[in-house]
Amino acid sequence: MSQKVGFGAHGNVYKDKGGQFVVKWALPHSVRQLRKENAVYLRLQGTPGILKHYYYGEHSGTAYLTLEYAGGSLLSMLDMAVGGIGCFDCLDLAFTIASTLPILASIHMQGVIHGDIHPGNILVSSSGVKLIDFGSSRFSRDSPNASFNYADTYGYSPYYSGVERIAHGLPTFQDDVVSFAYTLVRVAHGGRMPWDNDFAKVMGSDPSPQLMAVQLIALKNSFSAQQLCKGLPNVFESFLTAALTFQKVRWRSFNYNYWREQFNITPYSKVHPPSKRYQFLKALTE
């Protein structure tokens, strides 16, 4: 291993010298989380948009998972954009959205809930869009892998989660869609959301988990899709509205293909390919 490319409370991620694969190394308290993630990658192998799985092992109280290396993330590109390099135009973002929705639909049909969708878990590389980091994932109840649903492995990002997830804690198919909708709106706004100041105040006050949940739910309910999508093309507001409505209904009622077509720019790709700025940002992360 030559370069640390990720780190956190659960462990580190290293890239090999040739840039062909990464190794996720779990700290002892996170072994079960990586064990579950390994089960997810095995379940989803061969699914477009999912990293190739190479090896998993446990040794001396730790665990490691070897996966293909596929480039940078939307979060990396967004950080550089906010730093002054420039950010996505809406057509660039639409291209990424149209590429991500089929991946989300496919993993859901296979009984896998991602559980923590945000810009840092969507990779954009020369080989296409990849959905990564299934450490907070959950298998559906009828899945043969449901025994891996460890209750202590459902960490998530409240910023991107819907109110139903904040209220009940468990990952759901519905919240994957809501989190993805919040992600695309934030990226479209150049890394900001209208609720940012209020959200920071809630998190900074260090309330009890119960009080924080109540405050975050009230905060998110106080912003309409129209407010959150102000200044963006109408399709963003329509998608967010559909996602927020979807929180309270059966997951199979969501029409992934319809929304993919709303954002699909493939017919126009020859006359308007992804912008040079988009290609430049993507290249910097690979």
pLDDT per residue as tens, the chain (286 positions): 578 777 766 788 898 888 789 999 998 889 999 999 999 999 999 999 999 999 999 998 999 999 998 876 666 666 555 554 444 566 667 778 888 999 999 999 999 999 999 988 988 776 778 999 999 999 988 888 888 888 778 888 889 999 999 998 889 999 999 999 998 888 877 788 888 998 888 888 888 888 888 999 999 999 999 999 888 878 889 999 999 988 777 666 789 999 988 887 554 444 445 555 455 445 544 5
Q: What is the bridge-based pairing of β-strands 11-15 and 62-68?
A: unpaired
Superfamily holding 3-68 = Phosphorylase Kinase; domain 1 (3.30.200.20)
Distance CA 148, CA 138 (A): 8
Is residue 130 within 8 A of residue 41, CB to CB? The reply is no
The pLDDT of residue 221 is 93
Asked if the domains at 3-68 and 72-284 fall in one CATH topology, the answer is no
The CA angle 136-64-17, to the nearest 5 degrees, is: 115
Tell me the whole-structure pTM to 2 decimals: 0.87
Distance CA 24, CA 281 (A): 25
Task: Show me where the domains of the chain are located.
Answer: 3-68, 72-284
The pLDDT of residue 127 is 73
The pLDDT of residue 279 is 55
Residue whose C-alpha is closest to residue 65's, from 28, 22, 15, 1: 22
Is residue 116 within 8 A of residue 156, CB to CB? The reply is yes
Distance CA 198, CA 213 (A): 14
CATH class of this structure's domain 72-284: mainly alpha
The pLDDT of residue 81 is 59
